[in-house]
Structure 1
Amino acid sequence: MSENPEGQPVKFTITHYRQLQNSHEAFINWIIQEHLPLALPVFEKYGIIEYSLFVTPPSLNSALRKDIEAFRPTWDFAQFDCFIEYTLPSVETIMKVMTDPDWQVAVKDQDKWVDVPKALVSVGYSTGNLL
């Protein structure tokens, strides 16, 4: 893997669906209260520039979905519970983090909380704020 063509920081995103036996609120609480305290030292170790947790509560999704369907009936409305965006120094950072033993500790309970096979990953870079 290599740096992105522009030499800019890399954006790595992942969507997560919770395991259905857990409420949305409990799932987000697990991420913030249990997972993140273990993950933050790993982020610091590898120079993660930014971490953003975009929470998508079912109450907001359901209400907006009905309105969007009226205007764009062919659009597929995402139903995931959260969208995580990492800003990284390089693509190589992804594998460094994922193979770090401390990261394995940080994600040790993920199968109890995350419907892992449904995760959707993307990698790219930002063109900056255009507004």
Structure 2
Amino acid sequence: MATHVKFTVTHYRRPEHTHEAFMKWIVEEHLPLAIPVLKRHGVLNYSLFTTPADLNAALRANMGGHRSGWDVADFDCFIEYTLEDVKNIAEILSDPDWAKSVEHQDDWVDTSRALMSVGYITPYLLESGEVVNVPNM
């Protein structure tokens, strides 16, 4: 069974910024500085899952009858890093170029609300439609 390390971070923007301006800052200012660091330290995949308020509102309205006890997460984005090894996280965070890539983070990110998680990812259904890692399928 193939597994990789998945490191995730949720971010809320600071209230003085719009969701659109926040995402623009991440993509146009942060990522050009961050991606060389990520590549240098063995990041296999980086994904930015954006969660605009209008989609969250629609989800909240449509899911009420299906999952009444569930809440809708209201963060602005969910960042996913796929890594070979958990040690890659420390390598990234200690890289001086990473510090430059997050130099203006406190101007944009409400870091008091950021959430991190780390674990293992095992694929079961691929984009191709292929089922993998499921016994007897």
Q: TM-score, normalised by structure 1?
A: 0.91
Percentage of pairs with the same residue = 53
**In structure 1, what is the equivalent of residue 38 of structure 2?**
43
Q: Does 1:14 align with 2:19?
A: no
Q: Where in structure 1 are there 5+ consecutive unaligned residues?
A: 1-5
Answer 1 or 2: which has greater helix percent: 1
**In structure 2, what is the equivalent of residue 69 of structure 1?**
64
Q: Where in structure 2 are there 5+ consecutive unaligned residues?
A: 126-130, 132-137
Q: TM-score, normalised by structure 2?
A: 0.87
Q: How far apart, CA to CA, are the structure 2 residues paired with 1:117 and 1:90? A: 27
| Shift in Å, 1:99 | 1.2
Q: How far apart, CA to CA, are the structure 1 residues paired with 2:42 and 2:87? A: 12
Structure whose alpha-carbon radius of gyration is higher:
2
Q: CA offsets per residue over residues 27-60 of structure 1, 9 Å max, x none? A: 0000000000000110111111000000111111
Q: How far apart, CA to CA, are the structure 2 residues paired with 1:105 and 1:7? A: 34
Q: How far apart, CA to CA, are the structure 2 residues paired with 1:76 and 1:56? A: 14
Q: Does 1:87 align with 2:87?
A: no
Partner amino acid, structure 2, of 1:112: D
**In structure 1, what is the equivalent of residue 119 of structure 2?**
124
Is the CA contact 2:44–2:83 (under 8 Å) kept in the aligned structure 1?
yes
**Structure 1 residue runs of 4 or more that deviate by more than 3 Å after TM superposition:** none
Q: How far apart, CA to CA, are the structure 2 residues paired with 1:63 and 1:47? A: 37
Aligned length: 126
Given the superposition, is the C-alpha separation of residues 7 and 92 from structure 1 closer, same or farther in structure 2, using an over 3 Å criterion? farther
| Shift in Å, 1:8 | 3.2
**In structure 2, what is the equivalent of residue 108 of structure 1?**
103
**In structure 2, what is the equivalent of residue 3 of structure 1?**
none
| Shift in Å, 1:74 | 1.1
